[in-house]
Amino acid sequence: MKTSRDDLIKTVEELQQKGFDYLIKITAVDYVQSLTVIYFLRKMADGSEETVEVELNPVDAWVPTLIKHFRAADWYEREMAEMFAIEIKGRQAHRLLLEKWDGVEAPLRKSFQWAQPYKSDTK
């Protein structure tokens, strides 16, 4: 199902009321003209699954955090912020997943410049 970022929390709460109680994963897809964040939810009682998609403008890419609804959202949101440069509004911690990454560029965006090698201080 598709929803807007403004309705994301409401949509997730409605799905939780219907029994979708497990966050399988969150990922994003770069379509160049837009970014889509995809949330995969499962109802553990019967194994049914639902996806929630939020389309974003790449220039103004942000979604609200789902940590209050699913604790597992933490790692996925950190990955989206670091790898896709999608701001997660409402997050308290902003620690990077990659220790030596400056977090400036988004390596999973199609605009990422692969010509510049990763800078490491290892020899």
Task: Encode pLDDT of 36-79 as tens digits.
Answer: 999 999 999 999 999 999 999 999 999 999 999 999 999 899 88
Please tell me the distance from the alpha carbon of residue 69 to that of residue 12, in angstroms, as a whole number: 8
Whole-angstrom Cα distance, residue 42 to residue 55?
21
**pLDDT band at 109, cuts 50/70/90?**
confident
Element (H, E) at 84: helix 73-84
Instruction: Flag whether pLDDT at 104 surpasses 70.
Output: no
CATH topology of domain 2-89: Beta Polymerase; domain 2 (3.30.460)
Give residue-wise pLDDT tens across range 3-42. Answer: 999 999 999 999 999 999 999 999 999 998 999 999 999 9
pTM of the model: 0.85
What phi and psi values does residue 13 have, to the nearest 5 degrees? -65, -40
Handedness of CA 93, 4, 28, 102 (dihedral sign): negative
Helix (H, G, I), strand (E, B) or coil at 79: helix
Tally of CB atoms within 10 A around 64: 19
